[in-house]
Amino acid sequence: MPVLGLGVFQMPAPDTRRIIAMALEEGYRSIDTAPAYRNEAAVGRAVRDSGIERSELFITTKLGNRSHGRSKGLAAFEESMEQLGLEYLDLYLIHWPVPALGLYVETWELLIELRESGRVREIGVSNFLPEHLARIIEATGVAPVLNQIELHPGFPQAASRAFHAEHGIVTESWSPLAQADARLLADPVLTGAAAAHNKTPAQVILRWHLQLGAVVIPKASSRARLAENIDVFDFELTSTEMAAIEEISAPGRLGWDPATFVLPPGVPPL
C-alpha cells in the first residue's frame, strides 16, 4: 500500500474523475473512497480510464454505518463493487464501529469471509478504538491490517498508535492536515520547521505523519496542491521537531467520538 494516497471525502462526483486523473499524473497510486462520499462510481471510472494497470493501483472503500450485520453488509459490499466496476478491492474497511448497534463483530466476520473469497485483498477498520479492536481480535483471532483514524497535530492519538504497533496494525490518518485548520497551519512549531526545510507547514505535517509510520490520505482539488502534498519524500524532520509537533495542543478532535457515535436522523450514511 502506498504510504501517501488521495482521499476523496466531500469531493463532488462530477469533479472526482478530473481530480483523480490529475493525481495519477502526479504519481498518486492510492485512492480512498466510501459509499457515504457518493463518488464510488466516479472513482471506478477514473481508474478504468487511467490506462494504468489495475495491479499498480490501490483502491479502498468502506462499509457504511447503516449496513452493519452480515446480510446488510454483504448487500452493501456488492453495491460498492457495482458502483466501482472493479473485479476486486485492495482494501475494505468498516467505516465506524457504531458500538450502540452491537454488530461490529458480526460485520468483521463478514469482512474475513470476503477476504477469503479473494474479492478483497486486505481488510481493516476505521475509527475503531483500542477496546473495539481488542474485541474483534479476541472474537475472531484476526487483526485488521489497518485502522483509519482521525490523526493530526493537536490530536496525535498516542494510545491508539501504541495499540496498533503492539498488534501489527497499520495506522492510517484521516484529516491529516486537520481540515487545513488555520490555527494549526500558523503554529510557530510548524512554520519554523517549514522555514528550516524550505517546505510549507502542510508538507511538514504530512512528513510528521510519515515519520510516525502512518499512512496519509490528504484531500486536494488542485494540481498545485496535489503536487505539494506528494512532495514530502526529500527531507526529514529532526527528533526535536517531531517531539515538538506531537506537543501541539490545538485543534483537538474535529470529528465524531467513536465511543459514542450514532447516526443521527438526516445525516448521510457514513
Residue-wise pLDDT tens digits, 8-38:
998 999 899 999 999 999 999 999 999 999 9
Which residues are the active-site residues? Answer: 37
Domain range annotation of the chain: 6-180+209-222
DSSP label of 258: T
The answer to whether the CB of 22 falls within 8 A of the CB of 226 is: yes
**CA dist., res. 171 & res. 215, Å (int):** 6
Q: For residue 167, is pLDDT > 80?
A: yes
What are residue 126's phi and psi, to 5 degrees? Answer: -140, 135
Exposure string of 53-79, with b = 16+ CB inside 10 Å and e = fewer, is eeeebbbbbbbbbbbbbeebbeebbee
Give the range among 154-163, 195-204, 253-262 with minimum mean pLDDT: 253-262
Q: Residue 244 — pLDDT band, cuts 50, 70, 90?
A: very high
pLDDT of 264 > 60? The answer is no
pLDDT in tens, 211-220: 999 999 999 9
Residue in this structure with the C-alpha cell 477476504, named with its chain if needed:
115
Position 266 confidence tier, pLDDT thresholds 50, 70, 90? low
**Which three-class secondary structure state does DSSP give residue 60?**
strand
Tell me if the pTM is above 0.75.
Answer: yes
What's the pLDDT score for residue 265?
A: 53
Percent share of the chain, pLDDT over 70: 97
User: Could you report the per-residue pLDDT of 131-148, keeping only the tens digit for each?
Assistant: 999 999 999 999 999 999
* Average of per-residue pLDDT across 119-124: 98
Q: Supply the pLDDT for residue 262.
A: 81
Q: What is the residue-wise DSSP string for 64-110?
A: -GGG-SHHHHHHHHHHHHHHHT-S-EEEEEES---GGG--HHHHHHH
pLDDT at 140: 98
6-180+209-222 maps to CATH 3.20.20.100 = yes
pLDDT mean across residues, the chain: 96
